[in-house]
Amino acid sequence: MERVKIILKSGKDQAVRRYHPWIFSGAIKKIYGTPAEGDLVDVYDNKDAFLATGHYQPGSIAVRILSFEKIEPDLDFFRKRIGDAVKYRQSLGLFDNPDTNVFRIVHAEGDDLPGLIIDFYNGVAVMQMHSVGMYRLRKEFAEILRELAGDKLIAVYDKSEGTIPFMSGIKGTNEFLYGDSGPVTVTENGFKFKIDWTTGQKTGFFIDQRENRKLLCNSTNGRNVLNMFGYTGAFSVYAMKNAALVHTVDSSVSAIEMADENIRLNYGDDKRHQSFTADAFEFLNDIKDRYDLIILDPPAFAKHNNVLANALQGYKRLNMKAIEQIKPGGIIFTFSCSQVVTKENFRKSVFAASANTGRRVKILHQLSQPPDHPVNIYHPESEYLKGLVIYVE
Ligand code: SAH
């Protein structure tokens, strides 16, 4: 079938020639034909030279590029790409690690599969499609996963109800495409977590913080730990290994229930842990110097560039409250998972927060996402998780 041809405006081919995998609608000069959302389209420069093939989607990101070569992105193409993603995780030792059976198998642009996320929860693969092009192929992807993972795979769940672009005419689904399973217990660095992908945020768990939680474990010895925006209590579970006490705060009742359950799963009824359903900003108004280790892992404050300034203010305010009050010699693990907030901008917010308090602050570590969430070097936006570990004298 002849594919719809999209011509870019003069100069707008630059980013594509540097392998950036998105075509913004503003870069398009002309579309020959009327592609349906999710259709394959070919992209050309304004001198009619072929640039790329990808999935079309009405909206700001008009094309998500699959290939910069003129090829047919058929099932063999996807089998190869997903196979490469699996091989890469195998090379990281993730498929045979007795201490960790929760990881990401496909990280969208990071694995040259824009619009597709696949996470693995101890035998259950949870897929999230962010484009209609990928969504149309969901059943085929489930089949490919079965071929690749063999008897390691119990079930494949599609959780795309909330992730298909909102301008789309198609409504995503939440359903099993293969097998069936209730919530599972996973192991991460030897700690246990109950995962319910049907109710949880994202695909059920914030897998991207695995390495950062491990680092935290080494810093908590004898400390009084405050885990803000705790969600499943994952940071708290790690902290509990060595801390004197751990307090988990989240504004959501169901998150706090999950955190309590995960603490019980690892430590039984341990009085060192306490949880609080509260707004983080209010809770931080008056913590005095009760804590000497604080984790700040808020939800993305900015989903779009137009609210960037507000988001940066939010990070500054939040960090200021923690830096102001933490006990001398305290450590703060502070994060931003907003894709539009760069590493530099986040660091500037923490700098401004520090300067406002006048305290002496050192950066101990600069953190990012683990290698199963790879950053595509041509797509800086895929480096969305940024963290700083700071020491406050
Ligand atoms: N640190 C977690 C992930 C945090 S996700 C982990 O490692 O898994 C962000 C969490 O912040 C969600 O659970 C959400 O309920 C909570 N949240 C959002 N706004 C909040 C607020 N104003 N105060 C407290 N918690 C909030």
DSSP letters spanning 146-191: HHHHGGG--EEEEE-TTTS-TT-SSPP-EEEEES----EEEEETTE
Distance of CA 214 to the CA centre of its chain: 17
* pLDDT, tens digit (0-9, with 9 covering 90-100), for 358-373: 999 999 999 999 999 9
Nearest-CA residue for atom 12 of ligand 1? 231
CA distance 174 to 211: 29
CA distance 139 to 146: 11
CB 386 within 8 A of CB 338: no
CA distance 92 to 61: 32
pLDDT at 166: 67
For residue 235, give the ligand 1 atom closest to its CA. Answer: 7
If one compares 165 and 319, the residue with the highest pLDDT of the two is 319
Region of poorest pLDDT, from 81-95, 297-311, 335-349: 297-311
Question: What is the distance in A from the centroid of ligand 1 to the CA of 283?
Answer: 13
Could you tell me the two tokens for 180?
């069936």
CB 251 near ligand 1, within 6 Å: yes
3-state class of 304 per DSSP? Answer: coil
Residue to mutate (ligand 1; options 121, 196, 231, 260; most atoms within 8 A of CB): 231
CA distance 195 to 143: 23
CB 125 near ligand 1, within 6 Å: no
Q: Average of pLDDT values for 56-81?
A: 96
Give the Cα-Cα-Cα angle 375, 377, 378 (nearest 5 degrees): 120
Query: What percent of the chain clears pLDDT 70, i.e. is strictly above it?
Result: 99
Nearest-CA residue for atom 22 of ligand 1? 279
Question: What is the distance in A from the centroid of ligand 1 to the CA of 108?
Answer: 24
Task: Look up the CATH number of domain 4-67.
Answer: 2.30.130.10
pTM listed for this prediction: 0.95
- Position 84 confidence tier, pLDDT thresholds 50, 70, 90: very high
3-state class of 98 per DSSP? Answer: coil
CB 299 near ligand 1, within 6 Å: yes
CA distance 25 to 47: 19
What order of strands is seen across the sheet that includes strand 28-32? 22-24, 61-67, 50-56, 40-44, 4-8, 28-32
CB 333 near ligand 1, within 6 Å: no
Q: Average of pLDDT values for 210-228?
A: 97
CB 280 near ligand 1, within 6 Å: yes
Question: What is the distance in A from the centroid of ligand 1 to the CA of 52?
Answer: 39
CB 206 near ligand 1, within 6 Å: yes
CB 235 near ligand 1, within 6 Å: yes
* pLDDT, tens digit (0-9, with 9 covering 90-100), for 239-265: 999 999 999 999 999 999 999 999 999
The residues spanned by each domain of the chain are 4-67, 75-186, 206-392
* pLDDT, tens digit (0-9, with 9 covering 90-100), for 330-353: 999 999 999 899 999 999 999 999
Q: 157 - beta bridge partners?
A: 126, 176
CB 291 near ligand 1, within 6 Å: no
For tokens 């304004």, name the residue.
46
CB 126 within 8 A of CB 161: no
Average pLDDT, the chain: 96
Q: Average of pLDDT values for 211-229?
A: 97
Task: Look up the CATH number of domain 206-392.
Answer: 3.40.50.150
Does the pLDDT value for residue 165 go beyond 90?
Answer: no
Same fold, 4-67 and 75-186: no
* CA dist 291 → 82, 287, 329 (Å): 45, 8, 10
Exposure pattern of 147-167 as b/e (b: 16+ CB <10 Å)? ebbeeebbbbbbbbeebbbee
Identity of the residue numbered 360: R
Contacts of 209 (CB under 8 A, 6+ apart): 234, 235, 297, 335, 385
Architecture of domain 75-186: 2-Layer Sandwich (3.30)
Phi, psi of 199 (to 5 degrees): -105, -25
| Nearest in space to 69 (alpha carbons), one of 46, 50, 85 | 50
Query: What percent of the chain clears pLDDT 90, i.e. is strictly above it?
Result: 91
CB 338 near ligand 1, within 6 Å: no
pLDDT at 1: 67
